[in-house]
Amino acid sequence: MTIRFDDPNRPNSYIGRTVPRPNAGRLVAGRGRYVDDITLPRMVHVAFVRSPHAHARIGAIETGEAETLKGVLRVFTGRDLAEVCTPWEGKLLHLEGMKTPPQHPLALDRACWVGEPVVAVVGRTRADAEAGAALVEVEFEPLPVVTDIRTALDPDTPVLHEALGDNLCFRKANEKGEVDRIFAEAHKVVEASFKTARHTGVTLEPRVILVDWNAGDGEMTAHVSNQAPHMLQLLLAGHLDIPESRVRVVCGDVGGSFGVKVHVYPDEVATAAIAKIMERPVKFTSDRMEAFIGDIHARDHEATGRIALDESGKILGFDVDDWTGIGPYSIYPRTSAVEGLQVTNLIGGPYVFDHYRCRTSVVFQNKGICAQYRAVGHPVAVAITEGLVDKAAAEMGIDPIELRRRNLIADDAYPLTTAAGLKLEGLSHHRSLDALVEAMDYEALRAEQKALREKGIHRGIGIASFIELTNPSPFMYGIGGARISAQDGCTVRMDPDGSVVALTGITEQGQGTEAIMAQIVAEAVGVSPQMVRIVTGDTRVTPFGGGTWASRGAGIGGEAALQAGRAVRGQALEVAASMLQAKAGDLDIRDGIVVDAATGEERMALSEVGRVVYFRGDTLPKGLPRELMQTRHFITSNYPYAFTNGVQASYVEVDVETGFVKLLKHWCVEDCGRIINPLLVDEQIRGGIVQGIGAALFEEICYDGEGQILNGTMADYLVPMSGEMPDMIIRHVETPTEESELGAKGAGEAGTAGAPAAVMNAINDAIRPLGGSVTHMPFTPERILRALGTITD
Amino acid sequence: MKASIGGYTRAETVSHALSLLAEANGAGRLLAGGQSLIAALNLGTTSGDMLIDIAGIGALRGARIDGNRLIIGALTRHADIASDPLIAEHAPLLAKAAPLVAHDAIRNRGTIGGSLAYADPAAEYPACAIALDATIILEGPNGTRQVAAQDFFLGLFETARADDEILAAIAVPMAADGERHVIREAARRSGDYALAGLAVVRRDGRHRIGAFALGDRPLLCEGAMAALDGGDIDGAVAALATDVDPTSDTQASAAYRRHLAGVLLRRIAIDLGVG
Amino acid sequence: MTDSFQSRIDLEMTINGEAVELTVPAGRHLIDVLRHDLGLTGSHVGCEHGVCGACTILVDDSTVRGCLTLAAQLQGCEVWTIEGLTEKGVIADLQKAFVERNALQCGYCTPGMLASAKALVEAEGVPSRETIREHMSGNYCRCTGYEAIVDAIETVARQRADETGARSRAGETVAKARAGARS
């Protein structure tokens, strides 16, 4: 039996409907349970002494005064923890030539960025631990620092890690066709340089971990705000020399993640190590200032790009040189090379062309570590691609919508492999663009723009097509030796009252995992979503899985849930058929009732099946399988990734006297395959767009030449707030993946992927008549006025 | 970070607060609404302070008319400044400035006295005080001292208030008929500190301009004022560029802030119907 | 330390309608006392510098930042947190609208959002979307992009206005003042 997704009136048609999230009710009542909400008996708190230098040799560490402070219990240095915790290296075997040195939970000999944890102080309260940390004296001998990306490999730039020989972490070039010849001969070549600023995720709940080591059981339990509990389980076990089976990682409510909480952090591992040493619960709650120097950073790319076109405006090729600085260490275990790698894959993604070159150079520097953050690489690649496409359109006098129509991959051209080497199963660029043009009433908007320009009001329309990588296979990490699971599993269990419990390896950080899993399982089993309870984020009970990242939850975890739910349905029907003297194939389960499939006639409640199986199994035939609990795992196999597509538009007004940009409206049409819950998808897109707008207009971690962070507070690092954000129109095209019965791809990156480019193009559309253009994000009022030549000094 | 303080006590009256300040022997720190002080403690930029909570001193709260002056107690909160009819009538500049300060929850606790005493160069009230030609009333061990606003702000977070004094009130000349008050600022996001701002009072055809976020203290822009008095907008903008002395930071360069000040002045001139 | 200054403070407050007596370190934030001493973990800590709004609660019927307030400052005050507001039912319509509109994702900002929104929907009339955006601009949400939050508040304001028949505009003073003064 297959699900007739095209029939909204089919029985149990929960997939595709807006149903409320089962966990939202308690969150609005203040009944969430985030890690910092948990207090355990004998719990103590840890605070860290962090390096105030970007690069310094660590000399003597004086802890005596701290240790005698009332309320301080223990002080740990890097050497103390090195005895119980092995170092790590964020490398993947398939990333040829990649280098990174070993990293310890607390720096041993050298501190390599401002914020690197050096000493841990344990106190009865966080205030005690902080007071103790303030009394620790560390002798730092400042060393030369590397901060600039483009000069990191110059011969006269100091080498950050001597053992590695140079400051190159990784370099990869992706090339196809005859790029040099094509660009030499092309009718039109357009060039530009681009910068995406260094960002950080700013999850509203800072990172937090509470680790208990129970020596009696020989078991560690880590309550942690994290996206990938099974991954963390294996890594804590490995580095702290505990059997994997004796580490339990529990992720309850998580206050935002966006990729920030999918990595291994030295302060979190240190907390676990300290818990093991002290044999009591230890909590580390990052404060916001620590978050700015301790959480991963991202983006920080500088690129030059060229696009070649023929007379008709047909794109011939792209040629991009991308550089990124990732701090002093590659992140563990995913590596810090992936954002650059994604750029080499994603440039030109929506378009047909034959000639391609993109090189990324990933360099070390004395700043915070960069790593995967929402829409890894996408905003960079889309900004470069769409910035070049729009610039070409302007220079050739072709409407930007029209130029895209001439070049977007045809909707019937799939499957295909792009010049960059991406295998695409099925996308809908043209249908999406058509839907966008209609949703925004493009012609009317252009007319309005023209009319207002005559009155001195400068408005701009920006378009950005994009592709989005979702549902990653083991080709992303597993192939490189990282124990990061690309498969995922779901166990579905029916209880005596006919209600259902589903345990999934996918985790919830607000996306709505619990809601969509409940919908999928409800439809698969044949009960209402209210009859389904979802359990996530506990390595002791959930099937082994990868967690939630790279927009894999719905597509991979969802399919496992669908298949597990179908299996339980089959089991329940087999029992019911036996009880009813009917054929299982003639029965169906609808809204918790076993019915005659043909007529819909009610035959028996599921609760009756549950009663008999669990309490009167003696009345069933001997040998009848009666496991109303089934587990299924799913992994994609036909394609390394399920690509999705979409297109965004931004409408802005630029105050050309002040440089301020007012966001008037934003549109997004995207295709994430089968939509499970329209409301949740829309809000994923909206949230993602605003994160992308943050990149375009506000967000930038600033360092000085000495590697000192200049804006590490929420007052100084500007995130989007409600006052400046626009209303957003969201539309969908649905091209389900055929990899799975569910057909779902991911939707988590789309908004963030396309918004910066759309806003950039809109600003440039507004100011182009005045002779300016901006390509270095964020587009601050000042940068816009400098582009216009209003400010020159 | 957690706030690390040396101690806490409550003052019942101004004289009590003064004696507590003396007792703290230089470590005393007056705590009113706390919206800047506690933030500073949490950021670790100050610690070990002996906090003297003056929020309970009723005499320092609210606005009253005294002759031709409006006296606004130091503990009057931003939310009250924004809604008090007396202030709206007699010192409309302050009523217009209050909503620009941060956000609701901050305005419900933060006080005008705290803002003036803290002397953040990007804050609105100090510039308003200068534009209004207001007087800062200080209470100290030797009695009351009145300091003209333009003499009160000495530098970055630095004022004429002595360590043993309390900023008790601000006295504002009551707005005359036809007097115009305008404040404009440019902030990246609603409620942020401004990148540049101007508070302007036109009284009897003469202008007073207080600039904020355009120097290490609120600045009286005398060059621009003179030009504006003469109806010379271009001259006022040109003069303003030398009246102000902005610094560069991660948000904006000095050059941009200076430019922005000129744009704001032109817009204010239009508001005022000058030129 | 001199005699007049204390490092620990005895307090009496009313919290969620219940009389509470406690002794706290003088420098302890209100939000930490609520969360860790009283177990009222519904209010959250997001930045500890007064910017993000996650710790927004009600003191004497006004919103305040729990991280920019020392518990010591609140002798005799009346404090309401999300737990008490929920129990009392005074924001039940807001909570329902937030759930229906999916105006929360991770939920970490939500109790602070609701505290801020409460004041707006309690004023008479239906605020404009700009007014709602302006009023909520001190509460950070990384997940939703804010539109759903604005929608939910607008819905409740409209419902309440329909119930009371009120027509005047709430919160417009601040929004208008800002609109007029900004660049």
* End-of-domain residue from the set B139, B173, B207: B173
Are B2 and C9 inside 8 Å of each other by CB?
no
Assess whether A528 and A446 both reside in one domain. Answer: no
In the block, residue with structure tokens 């009001």: A457
**What's the pLDDT band for C123 if we cut at 50, 70, 90?**
confident
* End-of-domain residue from the set C86, C121, C140: C86
Tell me the mean pLDDT in the region A658-672.
Answer: 98
Contacts of A722 in chain C (CB under 8 A): 132-134, 136-137, 139, 141, 146, 149-150
Assess whether B66 and B164 both reside in one domain. Answer: yes
* End-of-domain residue from the set A634, A663, A681: A634
Contacts of C141 in chain A (CB under 8 A): 204, 722
Assess whether A132 and A213 both reside in one domain. Answer: yes
- Residue of A286, A295, A722 to mutate when probing chain C, most C C-beta within 10 A: A722
Q: Indicate the number of domains in chain C.
A: 2
Assess whether A445 and A512 both reside in one domain. Answer: no
| Mean of pLDDT over chain A | 97
Contacts of C6 in chain B (CB under 8 A): 7-9
Assess whether B216 and B255 both reside in one domain. Answer: yes
Tell me the mean pLDDT in the region A165-189.
Answer: 98
What pLDDT is stored for residue C172 in this prediction?
65
C136 and chain A in contact, CB less than 8 A: yes
Q: Indicate the number of domains in chain B.
A: 3
A299-325 pLDDT per residue, tens: 999 999 999 999 999 999 999 999 999
Q: Is residue C111 part of a domain?
A: yes
Are A718 and B2 inside 8 Å of each other by CB?
no
CATH of the domain at A500: 3.30.365.10
Least CB-CB distance to B5: which of C26, C49, C178?
C26
Q: Is the peptide bond before A333 cis (omega within 30 degrees of 0)?
A: yes
What pLDDT is stored for residue C175 in this prediction?
74
- When comparing pLDDT for C165 and C131, which is higher? C131
Assess whether B167 and B83 both reside in one domain. Answer: yes
Contacts of C36 in chain A (CB under 8 A): 39
Q: Which residue of B has its CA nearest to A713?
A: B43
Assess whether B76 and B153 both reside in one domain. Answer: yes
A550-609 pLDDT per residue, tens: 999 999 999 999 999 999 999 999 999 999 999 999 999 999 999 999 999 999 999 999
Q: Is residue C3 part of a domain?
A: no
A218-264 pLDDT per residue, tens: 999 999 999 999 999 999 999 999 999 999 999 999 999 999 999 99
As for the ipTM of the complex, it is: 0.97
What pLDDT is stored for residue A114 in this prediction?
98
Q: Is residue C1 part of a domain?
A: no
* Predicted confidence (pLDDT) at residue A712 exceeds the cutoff of 70: yes
CATH of the domain at A86: 3.90.1170.50
| Mean of pLDDT over chain B | 97
C18 Cα to chain B: minimum distance (Å): 23
Instruction: Give the Cα separation of B251 and A647 in Å (integer).
Output: 31
Q: Which of A75, A104, A33 lies closest to A537 in space, CA to CA?
A: A33
Assess whether A451 and A548 both reside in one domain. Answer: no
C30-88 pLDDT per residue, tens: 999 999 999 999 999 999 999 999 999 999 999 999 999 999 999 999 999 999 999 99
C73 and chain B in contact, CB less than 8 A: yes
Contacts of A713 in chain B (CB under 8 A): 43
Assess whether B79 and B163 both reside in one domain. Answer: yes
Assess whether C134 and C173 both reside in one domain. Answer: yes
**What's the pLDDT band for C177 if we cut at 50, 70, 90?**
confident
Q: Indicate the number of domains in chain A.
A: 3
* Predicted confidence (pLDDT) at residue C1 exceeds the cutoff of 90: no
Give me the domain span that covers residue A619.
24-32+487-634
B140-154 pLDDT per residue, tens: 999 999 999 999 999
Q: Give the rounded percent of residues in chain A with a pLDDT score beyond 90.
A: 99
Give me the domain span that covers residue C69.
8-86
Tell me the mean pLDDT in the region A23-49.
Answer: 98
Assess whether C77 and C95 both reside in one domain. Answer: no
C64 and chain B in contact, CB less than 8 A: yes
Q: Which of A761, A638, A669 lies closest to A428 in space, CA to CA?
A: A669
C151 Cα to chain B: minimum distance (Å): 19
CATH of the domain at B19: 3.30.43.10
* Predicted confidence (pLDDT) at residue A71 exceeds the cutoff of 90: yes
Assess whether B87 and B40 both reside in one domain. Answer: no
Q: Which of C171, C172, C169, C131 lies closest to C150 in space, CA to CA?
A: C131
Instruction: Give the Cα separation of A649 and A645 in Å (integer).
Output: 14
CATH of the domain at B165: 3.30.465.10
Q: Which two tokens stand for residue B180?
A: 């115009």
Residue A138, CA atoms < 13 Å, CB-side half-sphere: 28
* End-of-domain residue from the set C35, C62, C86: C86
Assess whether B168 and B188 both reside in one domain. Answer: no
A464 Cα to chain B: minimum distance (Å): 25
Are A127 and C146 inside 8 Å of each other by CB?
no
**What's the pLDDT band for C166 if we cut at 50, 70, 90?**
low
Residue B213, CA atoms < 13 Å, CB-side half-sphere: 28
What pLDDT is stored for residue C179 in this prediction?
78
Coil, strand, or helix at residue A321? Answer: strand
Helices (H), A301-428: 338-346, 378-396, 400-407
Residue A115 has a CB neighbour count (10 Å cut-off) of 25
What pLDDT is stored for residue C2 in this prediction?
64
Q: Is residue B91 part of a domain?
A: yes
A263-273 pLDDT per residue, tens: 999 999 999 99
Assess whether A620 and A752 both reside in one domain. Answer: no
Q: Is A89 a catalytic residue?
A: no
Q: Give the rounded percent of residues in chain B with a pLDDT score beyond 90.
A: 99
Beta bridge partners of A285: A208
Q: Which residue of B has its CA nearest to A133?
A: B1
C148 and chain B in contact, CB less than 8 A: no
* End-of-domain residue from the set C86, C101, C120: C86
Assess whether C73 and C100 both reside in one domain. Answer: no
Q: Is residue B57 part of a domain?
A: no
Contacts of C3 in chain B (CB under 8 A): 23
Assess whether C80 and C134 both reside in one domain. Answer: no
> Chains contacting A with at least 3 CB pairs below 8 Å?
B, C
Assess whether C50 and C101 both reside in one domain. Answer: no
Least CB-CB distance to C108: which of A205, A660, A721?
A205
* Predicted confidence (pLDDT) at residue C180 exceeds the cutoff of 90: no
Assess whether C100 and C172 both reside in one domain. Answer: yes
Pairing type for strands A282-285 and C78-80 reads unpaired
C41 Cα to chain B: minimum distance (Å): 17
Assess whether C99 and C167 both reside in one domain. Answer: yes
What pLDDT is stored for residue A793 in this prediction?
85
Tell me the mean pLDDT in the region B39-51.
Answer: 96
**What's the pLDDT band for A441 if we cut at 50, 70, 90?**
very high
Window 107-136 of B: residues touching C by CB (8 A cutoff) are 108-109
Q: Is residue A1 part of a domain?
A: no
Q: Which of C38, C8, C1 lies closest to C25 in space, CA to CA?
A: C8
Are C102 and A512 inside 8 Å of each other by CB?
yes
Window 76-115 of C: residues touching B by CB (8 A cutoff) are none
* Predicted confidence (pLDDT) at residue A27 exceeds the cutoff of 70: yes
Assess whether C78 and C158 both reside in one domain. Answer: no
Assess whether A457 and A582 both reside in one domain. Answer: no
Give me the domain span that covers residue B99.
62-173
A793 Cα to chain C: minimum distance (Å): 22
Q: Is residue C173 part of a domain?
A: yes
Q: Is residue C61 part of a domain?
A: yes
CATH of the domain at B195: 3.30.390.50
Assess whether A236 and A93 both reside in one domain. Answer: yes
Are A126 and B192 inside 8 Å of each other by CB?
no
What pLDDT is stored for residue C3 in this prediction?
83
Tell me the mean pLDDT in the region A38-59.
Answer: 98
Catalytic residue among A268, A700, A749, A782: A749
E strand intervals along chain C: 8-15, 18-25, 56-59, 62-65, 78-80
Are C183 and B39 inside 8 Å of each other by CB?
no
**What's the pLDDT band for A535 if we cut at 50, 70, 90?**
very high
Assess whether C50 and C74 both reside in one domain. Answer: yes
Are C27 and B190 inside 8 Å of each other by CB?
no
Instruction: Give the Cα separation of C7 and C4 in Å (integer).
Output: 10
CATH of the domain at C157: 1.10.150.120
C12 and chain B in contact, CB less than 8 A: no
Assess whether A213 and A92 both reside in one domain. Answer: yes
Q: Is residue A303 part of a domain?
A: no
* Predicted confidence (pLDDT) at residue A140 exceeds the cutoff of 70: yes
CATH of the domain at C82: 3.10.20.30
Instruction: Give the Cα separation of A592 and A270 in Å (integer).
Output: 49
Instruction: Give the Cα separation of A386 and A413 in Å (integer).
Output: 21
Contacts of B184 in chain C (CB under 8 A): 181-183
Assess whether B165 and B210 both reside in one domain. Answer: no
Residue C56 CA from chain centroid, whole number: 4
Q: Is residue A753 part of a domain?
A: yes
Assess whether A461 and A517 both reside in one domain. Answer: no
A599-616 pLDDT per residue, tens: 999 999 999 999 999 999
B72-103 pLDDT per residue, tens: 999 999 999 999 999 999 999 999 999 999 99
What pLDDT is stored for residue C171 in this prediction?
57
A134 and chain B in contact, CB less than 8 A: yes
If you write DSSP's letter for every residue of B105-133 in order, what string do you get?
HHHTT-BHHHHHHHT-TT-HHHHHHHHTT
Tell me the mean pLDDT in the region A74-81.
Answer: 98
Assess whether C69 and C23 both reside in one domain. Answer: yes
Contacts of C106 in chain A (CB under 8 A): 203-205, 253-257, 509-510
Least CB-CB distance to C99: which of A24, A688, A723?
A24
Assess whether A662 and A761 both reside in one domain. Answer: yes
Assess whether A628 and A661 both reside in one domain. Answer: no
Are B195 and A781 inside 8 Å of each other by CB?
yes
- Residue of A780, A783, A784 to mutate when probing chain B, most B C-beta within 10 A: A780
Contacts of C54 in chain A (CB under 8 A): 204
Q: Which residue of A has its CA nearest to C179?
A: A723
* Predicted confidence (pLDDT) at residue A115 exceeds the cutoff of 60: yes
Length of chain B measured in residues: 275
* Distance (Å) of CA A750 to CA A207, A615, A647, B55, C115: 25, 49, 9, 50, 31
C54 and chain A in contact, CB less than 8 A: yes
* Distance (Å) of CA B85 to CA B91, B92, B203, C149: 10, 9, 21, 33
